A and B are shown apart, each in its own frame.
Chain A
């Protein structure tokens, strides 16, 4: 084994005697392109709805709840999928979110929310985490589609126009402060 490693270490650190610089450079470049492509494809796959609802925790709870809402079914057929709201688009924060998902894998292995009852008991905590996140980033995931500057207050209900033209405009409130429980049901808010 030692001998094997030493032999290959020597090959590794010496200039190649049999392969041209051209082959090694281009070959390395092509392999780099392929692996980066594969990496991104895999990353994109983890952003699909199909991936999210592969686990029954998501399929039987939150996915069922979003279907009757306007973010899933509506007259124009534009809709949000899981990652549109729950995965940041910015690369750094996206990678951080993907690593946070290791905690979800942990939860999946140990069945943290493996039954409806467990999910209901835990959902307040899970929802609070998303609300804190969205309050901090000024509801960035909402604003990826909903643009304040393009809102026509005259086409909104009186109550909505009033809130949007005051608290939202001044930045005192952000989308999520009022629009909670719009894509999934609210947790039981009674208990602390």
Chain B
């Protein structure tokens, strides 16, 4: 049981740090980029 739990904890940690967190970071940044782009479509290019 304990070996199994240890393995599960490590896998969970690895999934979080190597997959979930980077994917979320990229999604947040690209989502932000899209929001800014859409706001530029509505409000015109920056500086105008």
Instruction: State the A residues within 8 Å of B (CB).
Output: 7-8, 11-12, 16-19, 24, 27-28, 31-32, 35-36, 38-39, 88, 92-93, 95-100, 132-133, 135-138, 140
Contacts and interface: CB of A to CB of B under 8 A. Distances in A.
Given A132-B45, A136-B48, A137-B45, A95 B9 contact: no
A18 B7 CA distance: 9
Interface of B: 2, 5-6, 8-13, 16-18, 21-22, 25-26, 29-30, 32-34, 36-37, 40, 44-48
Contacts of B17: 27-28, 31-32
Nearest to A35: B22
Nearest to A92: B36
A132 B46 CA distance: 10
A17 B26 contact: no
A35 B25 contact: yes
A172 to B, nearest CB: 16
A95 B28 CA distance: 11
Contacts of A28: 16-17, 21
Q: Which 5 A-B pairs have the closest CB atoms?
A: A99-B33, A136-B48, A95-B33, A96-B36, A137-B47
